[in-house]
Each structure stands twice: as structure tokens, then as C-alpha cells.
Amino acid sequence: MIDTSEFAGRVVMVTGGARGIGRACCLRLAAGGARIALNYVSNHAAAAETKRMIEADGGVCELFPADVGDQPAFASAVQAARSQLGPISMLVANAGTTHVRDHSELDLDAWRETMRVNLDGPFIAIQETKLDMISQGFGSIVCLSSIAALRPRARQIDYSAAKAGVVAMMRCFAEALAPDIRVNAVAPGLVETDMLDDLDQNILPGRIATTPLKRLGTPSDIAETVAFLLSERSSFITGQTFVVSGGAVMTP
């Protein structure tokens, strides 16, 4: 049973919130009473559908398009969110992109673009929202990483490096922003989203078969973990990476 007042009075910015894991986070947090500042880049139809779903259940959601890797554009989106919804007290840094390719196909431009979205993006999002949290004396941040950060991925060199950077950055911000602001990360395994389309579909059954829980994750699985880490239920947890992979990757 969801506590519909758990996030009452909180404004949560979710980057990459139009679909997939981002949409699931928006829906779950709105169900807990949060006002959602949904950030996305260009999929207007998907963002509008997420907003419609939230409002159909009585929630509050406003849309703030901006490229999270473009600091001036994202700063403007944060200012608009602050003006319309109030100070931001929570952040889900979810926006990301990946391409599966051989090392021979990975050039510096592709590397830089992956870093811009997957590592610069969470950094910019934290930098632009943290002042609201500092002024309130309260804040909670969750960054989306990946199990690719924790295991070698020969055909995702840039993505794995960026997501490992997210884990390191999260830990540093957790110490830097304590004690009032908590910062954690979630590292999903294979999840039923559009990103799966970029993987070799021939190896997918084998990956599922070797996962102890014998299934793919769902966006809701990840969103529930994000909600826990944002909430006061995790009030003594900061600087941690929660692996949500059905046991495909196990850490101490």
C-alpha cells in the first residue's frame, strides 16, 4: 500500500521523465504526494502522456523540456520549475543514453557525447538543484547508474565508464552535501525499456536464464527503490549504490 502523503509538500525534479524508468519514477512519486517537475529533451508526446497519467490520478505534474547536458538550458528549466511548483527538494537524475558498439567504432566524439549526457547531465542536475535543498536544510537525491558500472562491458566502454563515474560522483556529493542532503544511486540490471532494443536480442534469453530471479526488471521495480531512497524510510542511508538486478550482479 502506497503512503499517499509520504512526499506531500515536496517538489521532485525527474530528468528523463517522459518514459521508461523516468516515467515510472514520476508516477510512483506522484502517487506518494509529490509535485513532479518532469524534465525531458524532445519526446513531447511521451512527456504529455506521463503528465496526463499523473493528473488522471489526481497528481500534479508540469513539463520542463531541456537538454540536461546543456547547463544554461537546464538552469532555465530549473528556474521555471521553481517558479511554477516551488523550491525543489528532491532530484532523480535519470536521463541517459547508450549505444552498443565495438571498440573499433567508438571515436572521441561518440565518447564525449555519452559522457555529456550520462555524467555531465547528473552533475549539472545536482549543481542546479542543490541550492534549493541547501536553503531548505533538507534534500534527497538519487542518481541512476547501471550494473554496467560494476562489470566489464566490451561493447559499452563509454557507457560503462560514464555510469561508473556517476557512482563515484554520487559518493563525493554524499559527503560534500551532508548532513542535510542525502545522495544515493540505483544501478539497474536489464529492465523492460526501449534501451533493450539496442542489445543483441539473441543473447537476451541467456541473460535472463542466468539471472537468479529469472526475469527482466520492470520500470516499477526501479521506481520503488528510488522512492525508498528519496523517502525518510532511508533516513540513515547516504553514499550508497543499490543494485536492482534480480541477482544478476551481487555486491557486498
- The grid cell for 44 is 513531447
For residue 93, the SS3 value is strand
40 strand-pairing partners: 65
∠ CA 198-201-204, rounded to 5°: 110
Residue type, 163: K
Strands (E), 49-103: 60-65, 90-93
Confirm if 11 and 64 have CB atoms less than 8 A apart: no
Provide the CA 122 distance to its chain's centre, in angstroms. Answer: 9
The catalytic residue among 74, 159, 173, 242 is 159
Task: Give kind and range of the element (H or E) at residue 171.
Answer: helix 157-177
Confirm if 43 and 16 have CB atoms less than 8 A apart: no
Determine the Cα–Cα distance for residues 34 and 26; give it in Å rounded to an integer: 9
Cis preceding linkage at 179, omega within 30: yes
Q: Dihedral of the CA atoms 222, 95, 42, 25 (nearest 10)?
A: 30
- The grid cell for 76 is 532555465
Residues in the chain: 252
Residue 159 known to be catalytic: yes
* Residues annotated as part of the active site: 159
